[in-house]
Amino acid sequence: MIIARRFLVRGRVQRVGFRYFAEEMARIEGINGFVRNLPDGRVEVLGEGDAESVVRFERAIRRGPTGAHVDDVETESLEPAGLVTFRIKG
């Protein structure tokens, strides 16, 4: 079953390679969507894919790359949009 989730990640998550980490984890898990920095210091991640893959992707997002410190992740379930790539926005 394909599911979609939006994650708003708060903490030390900008200028630590978080977007590139998310892109690599999405590639490994076969997730489509995007990641982008927000002006308020958070990172927004949208991931769409097989339910088990999205769960593993979320675990990675909650951990983050070396150098990051994730304080909180807000999660929102969305309707899948049929995305076909994962990219870094902005």
**Residues recognised as catalytic:** 19, 37
Strand pairing class (32-37; 86-88): parallel
Contacting residues for 58 by C-beta, under 8 A, at least 6 apart: 5, 7, 47, 73, 75
CA distance 67 to 17: 8
